[in-house]
Amino acid sequence: MLKKKFEEIDATADLGIIAYGEDLKSLFSNAAEGLMSLMADRESIAESKSININITAKDREGLLVKWLNEIIFLKDTKGFLGRTFNITNLSDNNLKADIHGEIYTPEKHELLSGVKAATYHNLKVEKINDTWQVRIIFDV
């Protein structure tokens, strides 16, 4: 069992996390949780709405960046804040997921940092011993 899902890391003028997972699905889900924890107080987000995601990319790293950028896009364009991220299908080139959360309301939700995008800076999805991990830097 994993001891932690993700941790924040120092990145000059940017924000970053290292996400962990027992498998690739949990790694992608935990990376999404880590991203959302940088953007908003996750504890205040109810799971009253679901959004289905289906994305493709040329490789695993590209898929992860596209996935995280889709979460940022949903927040920026629809005000949708995700609380749980259920990856239903994942290959090296395709991701299907259900994101459960709700629309941002200023009275209820505290927005934290203004994350603009996930980057490819030093991005590498890798398995170390029995744990998948990835270090992700976000533009703010």
pLDDT at 37: 94
Contact status, residue 49 vs residue 99, Cβ threshold 8 Å: no
In angstroms, rounded to a whole number, what is the distance separating the alpha carbons of residues 11 and 9? 6
State pLDDT tens for residues 85-128. 999 999 999 999 999 999 999 999 999 888 999 999 989 899 99
Domains of the chain in start order, with CATH, are 17-139 (3.55.10.10)
Query: Helices 60-78 and 24-39: crossing angle, nearest 10°?
Result: 30
